[in-house]
Every structure is written in structure tokens, then in C-alpha cells.
Amino acid sequence: MEKLLHYVWMHKLLPSRSLATTDGTEIEILDPGQHNGNQGPDFLNARIRVDGMVWAGNVEIHSCSSDWNRHRHHTDPVFNTTILHVVEQADADIRTENGQIVPQIIITVPQEVKDNYEELLRTTDYPRCHKFVPGIEPIKAHSWFDSLLAERMEARSKRILDILKECCGNWEQTTFITLARNFGFGLNGDIFEMWAKRVPLNAAGKHRDNLFQIECMFLGLAGLIDKVADEDLKKRMHTEYKFLSHKFTLPEPMAASNWHYLRTRPQNFPDVRIRQMARLFHEGHCTLSSILDATSLEEIDNRLAAAGISKGSRRLIIINTVANLLFAYDKHHGTYEYRTRATDFLEQLPGEKNHILKQWQACGLDVGTAYDSQALIQLKKEYCDHARCLNCRFGFEYLSHLMKHNG
């Protein structure tokens, strides 16, 4: 329950009655401080008014006062700046390492709040708060969506910028790798990224105008020429790949066994996707400049369609590749032009359809656009899956409602 005490303190979900320390001194919370996830007091730079005087310092929170000594805070000078000890049960007086008595305040979390919080953690239902979500005001839900989408795009842009660093600042190589990974559509994502890092773009660029040679190089490096159904074409491709391999000293082909075909639809077979990548590369659409220059969603969609990519896959590529590259590019250069375009694209695309989003829709949430669906996927993966209800705004609405009801 200590996490719940942290939550109550951080959001000032305190009883409506006046507060006092355990020795009866009147106290007012002016600023609960910033939560400290590192070593030291739980909240830093808090401000409280004690008996009419404003104190500034740190706050420590425990279930019981005796935890202070049990955790050896009385021997640690880091805790000498503690101005308040927040507890649910005051079972001991406490002092800092320099001998100062620390005032204590008791906060009692209502039993109903505890029970409901424990139920949230125990339930196997998804989402855990499904009984409460329908009552959340739409404006509050969509405000949370904004933050969730920003979190998701920040995390994905960080991954792209990590690839950029690995590529020594080469945006074109970074774009190719990022696009390739998303052509794996989850199951083959890691293998596609591994393959893309082996493709020598400078060498491929010398034959960009010859689609057949690009297909030979791409499939040959993947070890997938033998997946070509036409026997005559397969022989020609093997011969051409040997020529290209000798000419450019290409790396050894990957083992065909690396690629996942089981439970994969034919349109998602790796060799099919690699040939689509070859066509995009041949037409100059695997470059960052081609993405930055595209001012409309229709323009990007038409390019992908010309490579034989289905409508559903095109939408996923725009959501997971194009939008994130635009966001990452802006973040790298400290501008906002392209990240605005990225969110505009997401708002123009319809929401994705999968089991996660069906469950949120069953709770009454509107998942009209990819903007909404990406936010809710972030909520599921980063909050619901880790039982981070106390960090979720839906959880905040739920528990604060209970606190006020019991206040």
C-alpha cells in the first residue's frame, strides 16, 4: 500500500478536513514536491506550512513510522533535509542522522480505495478499469490520448535515432533499415532489420535503374532466391546474384531458415515483401527525402500502392514507419514542422482493428483514427500490461473519485 500512499500524496488526494502532525501542529500542503525515482527521499523540493511558517525540503513516505529506522534513514545524512514523514500508521518517533526530530502526518487511505486498487491489480480482465471507463468524460479521455501518443512517438523516435547513431548519421541508411523492419510486420521484424543492415546501399544505388538486378541483390542477400516459383527466373537470378556478389564483394547470404513463413499469409511472405522493397528502392521511395517531400497522405499511399502493397499494409507502414521517421527527424533537428505532419497523417487514417482496440471500444471509447488507436496500444503495452494503474489517468480518475467519495 506504500505505492498508494505515494499516489495520494503526489496528487494531493487528501482528506477535506484540516491536517495536523502527530503532535497536533496544524499543517498545510502547499506543494507535494517532485517524485524521486532514485536514491533518497521520496519527494524532493516540497513546500508545507507548519504552524504558520513555510518550510521547504523533502518528504519521505512509509506505511509505518518504524520503517524509517528499519530502512536505516536515521543513519543516512541524505535524509537530513526531510521536513515531513508521511505515514499510515505512526508507531514510532523518528530523527534524522543529525538528531533533528522529523514531524509526521498520518494519511489514512479509505478501505474501499484499498480494496478497489487491489482488485485492479488482481483482475485478469482487460482493461482492468472497464467498469469505470465508460463514465470518463470524452474530453479527459482524449487529453490522455494526446500524452500517450506523444510517449509512443518519443519512444519510437529514440529507437530510430539509435539506429541513426549506429549508421554514423546516415539518414538514408537509417530510413531503409526502419522501413525494412516494419516490412516484417512483427513476426519477421528483427530478421528484416538484420537483412537491411547487410544491404550495401551504395552498391545497390549503382543499379537502381535496373529492377531485376535490385531484386537479385536483395533476395540473394536474404538467402531467398530459391523461394522464387518460376524455375527459369530462379536460375537467372542466381546467375545475376553471383555476378553482383563478385562485383561488389557482397556479404554472405543469410540462411533461409532465419525467415518465418509458418502462420504467415502469402502476401506477408518475406520474399514477397523484399521484392516490394526492391521496387520502392528502384523508384526512389526508400529515401528520407522522398518521405519529407511528400506533403499529403495520398501521395505516400500512391507510392506504396504502386509497389503492389495492400491497403491495410500501406496504412500500417504509414503509421509505423512514415509518421515515426518524420517525428524522429524533427526531434533530431529540434524543429516541429514534420512532427505536425506526422500527427496529421495519423488523424487522417482510420483506427487500426485488433483485439486490443475492440476491448477498448467495448468500454465505450471512440477509436476513430490511427491517432486514437496508437494511443490505446501505448496504454495497453506500457501501463495495463505492467499494472501501472497509479500512473494512468484513467486510474487517477477512478481512485480520485473514490477518495473524494470517502473524504
User: Considering the entire predicted model, what is its pTM?
Assistant: 0.78
Is a pLDDT exceeding 80 seen at residue 51?
yes
Q: 200 and 312 share a domain?
A: yes
Q: 84 and 187 share a domain?
A: no
The pLDDT-based confidence of 138 (bands split at 50, 70, 90) is: confident
Owning domain of residue 186: 171-343
Is a pLDDT exceeding 70 seen at residue 250?
yes
Report the domain count for the chain: 3
Q: Single out the residue of 197, 244, 194 nearest to residue 217, CA to CA.
A: 244
Q: Does 118 map to a domain?
A: no
Looking at residue 234, what is its pLDDT?
96
Domain end, chosen from 296, 320, 343, is at 343
Looking at residue 404, what is its pLDDT?
61
Q: Does 90 map to a domain?
A: yes
Within 10 Å of residue 266's Cβ, how many Cβ atoms?
7
| Whole-number Å distance between alpha carbons of 280 and 283 | 5
Q: Any idea which residue has 533518497 for its cell?
A: 40
The pLDDT of 285-309, averaged and rounded, is 93
Q: pLDDT tens digit string along 349-379?
A: 999 988 888 888 888 888 899 999 999 999 9
Q: 323 and 356 share a domain?
A: no
Q: 192 and 88 share a domain?
A: no
Q: 285 and 207 share a domain?
A: yes
What is the average pLDDT value for the chain, to the nearest integer?
Answer: 91
Q: 196 and 332 share a domain?
A: yes
Q: 230 and 332 share a domain?
A: yes
Q: 314 and 209 share a domain?
A: yes
Q: What residue ranges in 306-388 does DSSP mark as E strands?
A: none
Q: Does 116 map to a domain?
A: no
Q: DSSP assignment of 27-40, as one string?
A: EEEEE--EE--SSS
Q: Single out the residue of 175, 166, 168 nearest to residue 324, CA to CA.
A: 175
Q: Single out the residue of 374, 360, 274 nearest to residue 315, CA to CA.
A: 374
3-state secondary structure of 106: strand
Domain end, chosen from 317, 343, 369, is at 343
Q: 36 and 19 share a domain?
A: yes
Q: pLDDT tens digit string along 34-43?
A: 999 888 999 9
Q: Does 71 map to a domain?
A: yes
Q: Which long-range contacts (CB under 8 A, 24 or more apart) does 137-144 make?
A: 138/366, 140/393, 140/397, 141/365, 141/394, 142/372, 143/393, 144/375, 144/379, 144/392, 144/393, 144/394
Q: 204 and 337 share a domain?
A: yes
Q: Does 115 map to a domain?
A: no
Q: Does 98 map to a domain?
A: yes
The pLDDT of 168-176, averaged and rounded, is 96
Q: 336 and 374 share a domain?
A: no
Q: Does 7 map to a domain?
A: yes
Query: Do 86 and 26 form a contact (C-beta atoms < 8 A)?
Result: no
Looking at residue 331, what is its pLDDT?
94
Q: Does 336 map to a domain?
A: yes
The pLDDT-based confidence of 347 (bands split at 50, 70, 90) is: very high
Domain end, chosen from 304, 320, 343, is at 343
Q: 320 and 182 share a domain?
A: yes
